[in-house]
């Protein structure tokens, strides 16, 4: 609940209103009138608010906070009129089951009230002078002058601007950029943290999930205080504290074929930080149709892949997964709920942020035509050229947004289904790519996934069909060996 009052705040009565038998914690903040401000003595203050708008915005802040921190009850009272030194100008109380959520909710209200509430104050000084100050504008001015703990924009990015590859012009490009990040999980958390830190002007976050306890080992924006909270709201609150100069837009909901184009339109770069192929294809096709560069990553266990898609340069997502529908891929390769090494998503998320910043600075290089495969268990990296496939239903039809594509392997395709493998006959050798610590399947010949020399030897003797547990490593290695001239290497699709 939010209230405006012209009478002195009765803190004892407000504290009593917070009493609740289910609440194990009560966190209270009082903002009081002090006798100085920015080096000048102050005798008293006058507060004036645009009452109707202040009430509406205050109610919105309280509703948002209780939604962000489930189980909290928030009460906020703001004074108007004349206040003497020592009087309470704002009182915030939060009742919650646990102290951590209470502290977090209280801080969120303080920051949002200061940033959003239409309240002005008139400072009276001993010499008789008085001046009106917009509290919201004052907060921004303090950031600019460095008068608070928040850094000035020039100080915040000084080490980055000193890079000759960035400079003042590059920083200005970042500040003018609009970046969409779909998925605020293991990949999205480090990615948005570094994008905000770099000074990207506007970040739009899309996610329909809520923070779970099992997320915390890898989703570094969240704490136990946010468990149960909508991810995008918790992430937005954290990022606003990290860099107040960045505009953060939170879209609480999933990206779908219905809203994809509207979300992508007008963005400078898009990051795919999702954990399923259905959303990945929808997002990719929307970016492809609108000509917006897409930085995509996926992680399973200790391993991840990274792609930068730009229309007209290199192959698209459909070229990578020819003959594989999104539903089929999700059945075998969905990252949601699977085992994952926390640092793996951290590394890939940071790499996504790096590629996005390079795109914004015009320094993407060869990344737009390559697939990178990173393995955190053995420290290896593979880079595979991602060539456009002739006849690709998306690359050849830029005017349409397609989600599925026909399962029709061609002679040059690296993918074969069961019938295609059978057609190769007994001369073909099927090899299972064995990951470290994985039990070898009895029905396949196995080769260590890192043993490229052995795979090359087998491929020189005849057709080689690669199989792996989730289809990612086999597809990448098939492309790598084909790029070396071994056109008889295939990846099995089922």
**Does the pLDDT of residue 134 top 70, yes or no?**
no
User: What's the pLDDT score for residue 92?
Assistant: 97
User: What's the pLDDT score for residue 450?
Assistant: 67
**Does the pLDDT of residue 138 top 70, yes or no?**
no
**Does the pLDDT of residue 485 top 50, yes or no?**
yes
User: Are 492 and 467 a contacting pair, CB within 8 Å?
Assistant: yes
Alpha carbon distances (Å) from 483 to 362, 380, 474: 27, 19, 14
User: What's the pLDDT score for residue 423?
Assistant: 76
**Among the four given CATH numbers 3.40.50.300, 3.90.1170.40, 2.40.160.40, 2.40.160.10, the one describing domain 2-145:** 3.90.1170.40
User: What's the pLDDT score for residue 323?
Assistant: 60
Please give the helix or strand (H or E) that residue 158 lies within, else none.
Answer: helix 158-161
User: Are 447 and 431 a contacting pair, CB within 8 Å?
Assistant: yes
User: What's the pLDDT score for residue 17?
Assistant: 93
The domains of the chain are located at: 2-145, 159-385, 415-492
Burial tier of 288 (Cβ tally within 10 Å: 0-12, 13-18, 19+)? buried
Q: Residue 231 — very low, low, confident or very high, per pLDDT cuts 50/70/90?
A: very high
Q: Residue 332 — very low, low, confident or very high, per pLDDT cuts 50/70/90?
A: very low
Regarding the domain delimited by 415-492, which CATH topology (the fold level of the hierarchy) does it fall under? Oxidized Rhodanese; domain 1 (3.40.250)
The pLDDT tens digits of the residues spanning 431-457 come to: 888 777 677 777 778 888 767 778 887
The pLDDT tens digits of the residues spanning 27-77 come to: 999 999 999 988 889 999 999 988 899 999 999 999 999 999 988 999 999
Half-sphere exposure of 280 (CA within 13 A, CB side): 26
Neighbours of 460 (CB within 10 A): 10
Strand partners, 248: 203
Distance CA 250, CA 252 (A): 6
User: What's the pLDDT score for residue 406?
Assistant: 32
Question: Helix crossing, 326-333 with 277-290: angle to 10°?
Answer: 140
As assigned by CATH, the class of the 159-385 domain is alpha beta
415-492: same fold as 159-385? no
Cα three-residue angle 194-111-142, rounded to 5 degrees:
80
**Does the pLDDT of residue 481 top 90, yes or no?**
no
Q: Are strands 73-79 and 247-252 parallel, antiparallel or unpaired?
A: unpaired
The pLDDT tens digits of the residues spanning 419-436 come to: 777 777 777 888 888 777
Distance CA 490, CA 428 (A): 10
Lowest mean pLDDT among 92-101, 192-201, 391-400: 391-400
User: What's the pLDDT score for residue 32?
Assistant: 94
User: What's the pLDDT score for residue 403?
Assistant: 38
Q: What is the mean pLDDT of the chain?
A: 85
What is the mean predicted confidence (pLDDT) over 174-198? 96
- Which residue shows structure tokens 């038998």? 21
What is the mean predicted confidence (pLDDT) over 383-395? 81
User: Are 297 and 287 a contacting pair, CB within 8 Å?
Assistant: no
Q: Residue 292 — very low, low, confident or very high, per pLDDT cuts 50/70/90?
A: very high
Q: Are strands 119-124 and 88-96 parallel, antiparallel or unpaired?
A: unpaired
The larger pLDDT score, comparing residue 449 to residue 112, is at 112
User: What's the pLDDT score for residue 467?
Assistant: 86
Distance CA 186, CA 341 (A): 10
pTM (2 decimals)? 0.71
**Does the pLDDT of residue 369 top 50, yes or no?**
yes
Alpha carbon distances (Å) from 129 to 34, 41, 46, 133: 17, 11, 13, 13
User: What's the pLDDT score for residue 334?
Assistant: 47
């Amino acid at each position: 609940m939010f209230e405006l009052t012209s009478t002195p705040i009765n803190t004892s009565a407000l504290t009593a209103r917070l009493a609740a038998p289910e609440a194990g914690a009560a966190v209270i903040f009082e903002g009081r009138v002090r006798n100085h401000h920015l080096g000048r003595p102050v005798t008293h203050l006058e507060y004036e608010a645009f009452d109707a708008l202040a009430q509406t915005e205050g109610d919105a802040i309280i509703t948002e906070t209780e939604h962000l921190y489930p189980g909290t009850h928030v009460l906020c009272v703001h004074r108007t009129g004349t206040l003497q030194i020592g009087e309470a100008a704002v009182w915030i109380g939060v009742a919650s089951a646990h102290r951590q959520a209470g502290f977090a909710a209280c801080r969120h209200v303080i920051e949002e009230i200061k940033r959003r509430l239409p309240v002005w104050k008139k400072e009276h000084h001993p010499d008789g002078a008085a001046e009106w100050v917009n509290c919201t504008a004052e907060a921004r001015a303090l950031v600019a002058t460095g008068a608070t703990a928040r850094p000035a924009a020039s100080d915040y990015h000084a080490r980055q601007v000193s890079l000759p590859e960035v400079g003042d012009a590059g920083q200005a490009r970042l500040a003018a950029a609009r970046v969409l990040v779909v998925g605020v999980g293991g990949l999205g958390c480090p990615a948005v943290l570094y994008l905000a830190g770099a000074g990207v002007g506007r970040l739009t976050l899309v996610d329909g999930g809520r923070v779970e306890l099992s997320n915390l080992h890898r989703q570094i924006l969240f704490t136990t205080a946010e468990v149960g909270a909508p991810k995008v709201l918790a992430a937005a609150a954290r990022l606003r504290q990290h860099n107040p100069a960045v505009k953060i837009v939170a879209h609480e909901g999933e990206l779908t074929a219905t809203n994809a184009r509207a979300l992508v339109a007008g963005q400078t770069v898009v990051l795919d930080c999702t954990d399923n192929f259905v959303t990945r294809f929808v997002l990719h096709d929307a970016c492809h149709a609108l000509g917006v560069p897409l930085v995509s990553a996926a992680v399973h266990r200790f391993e991840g892949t990274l792609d930068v898609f730009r229309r007209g340069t290199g192959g698209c997502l459909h070229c990578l997964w020819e003959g594989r529908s999104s539903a089929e891929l999700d059945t075998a390769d969905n990252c949601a709920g699977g085992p994952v090494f926390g640092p793996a998503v951290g590394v890939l998320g940071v790499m996504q942020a790096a590629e996005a910043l390079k795109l914004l600075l015009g320094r993407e290089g060869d990344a737009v035509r390559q697939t990178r495969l990173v393995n955190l268990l053995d420290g290896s990296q593979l880079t595979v050229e991602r060539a456009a496939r002739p006849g690709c239903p998306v690359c050849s039809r830029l005017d349409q947004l397609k989600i599925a594509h026909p399962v029709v392997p061609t002679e040059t395709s690296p993918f074969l289904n069961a019938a295609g493998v059978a057609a190769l006959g007994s001369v073909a050798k099927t090899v299972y790519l064995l990951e470290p610590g994985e039990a070898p399947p009895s029905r396949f010949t196995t080769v260590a996934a890192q043993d490229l020399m052995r795979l090359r030897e087998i491929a020189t003797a005849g057709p080689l069909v690669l199989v792996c547990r989730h289809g990612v490593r086999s597809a990448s290695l098939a492309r790598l060996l084909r790029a070396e001239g071994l056109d008889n290497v295939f990846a099995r699709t089922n």
